[in-house]
Amino acid sequence: MFLADTLNDLVYKPIKKPYEIWHKFMEQNVEFWLPESEWHTKTHCARVLFLALLIGHQKGLSAKEIDALGMAAVFHDSRRLDDGIDKGHGRRAAEYYKDYCRGHDLPYDARTYYITYYHDQDDSLGLSEIAKSSSLSERAILLYQIFKDADALDRFRLGPDALNVNLLRTEEAHRLVNFAKYLLQKSRKTYS
Ligand SMILES: [Fe+2]
Ligand SMILES: [Fe+2]
């Protein structure tokens, strides 16, 4: 399994199970529109999954909240039409997630839908839409920030200067900058 040996490190034990579940789920069930993508691959989504679960664990999220992040990680870039900004791929991926839940045995979580929907938009828009929604509590804002930080931490794949660390939203993500670089190096060594 992708990143399996990193997961066996004791420090990451608490996220091992949800990581394995959602990674396997992605490999077996999530269909990507751009399978030949250079930048938005399943390995990108796996690293985002790892980082989102790690920040989520450090923030003390519940198991359900952790799963909401896991589902967002494995669906968020599945409906891209190109490797550029492609605004709207978040909305398409969110609809895919919702449809998938209707047709399969996967629990629908409104937080996953909103995080996925607005992950490619400015925080100001995402945060205001989440705040407006009657189906979401304030915790959804925290989940959105964690997810966007995890996605941002994998920007080092685009180049050494591709992440502006000043824009990271959570303390935990700030502390994971070097780990994110390590995770990327490790996956490049193993999978290229
Ligand atoms: Fe995206
Ligand atoms: Fe992404």
Instruction: Please give the pLDDT value at position 4.
Output: 86
Q: Ligand 2 mean position to 5 CA, how many Å?
A: 23
- pLDDT average, residue stretch 62-83: 97
76 C-alpha to ligand 1 centroid (Å): 6
pLDDT digits (tens, 9 = 90+) for 108-165: 999 999 999 999 999 999 999 999 998 898 999 999 999 999 999 999 999 999 999 9
Q: Work out the average pLDDT over 95-114.
A: 98
pTM of the complete model: 0.96
| C-alpha 40 – ligand 2 centre gap (Å) | 6
The number of distinct structural domains making up the chain is: 1
> For residues 88 and 63, is the Cβ–Cβ distance under 8 A?
no
Of the listed ligands, the closest to the CA of 41 is: 2
CB 165 within 8 A of CB 156: no
> If you average pLDDT over residues 11-38, what whole number do you get?
95
Ligand 2 midpoint to CA 22 (Å):
15
How does DSSP classify residue 59?
T
Give residue-wise pLDDT tens across range 29-52.
999 999 999 999 999 999 999 999
Q: Which domain holds residue 29?
A: 4-191
What's the CA gap between 156 and 47, in Å, rounded? 11
| Ion ligand 1 — residues with CB < 5 Å | 77, 120
Residue pair 150/52 in contact (Cβ under 8 Å)? The answer is: yes
What rounded mean pLDDT belongs to the chain? 95
Q: How confident is the model at residue 191, as a pLDDT?
A: 61
Angle between helices 139-153 and 110-118 (to 10 degrees): 50
Confidence of residue 1 (pLDDT cuts 50, 70, 90): confident
Per the CB < 8 A criterion, the answer to whether 12 and 54 are in contact is yes
pLDDT at 100 over 70: yes
**CATH at 72:** 1.10.3210
What separation in Å is there between the alpha carbon of 157 and the centre of ligand 1? 14
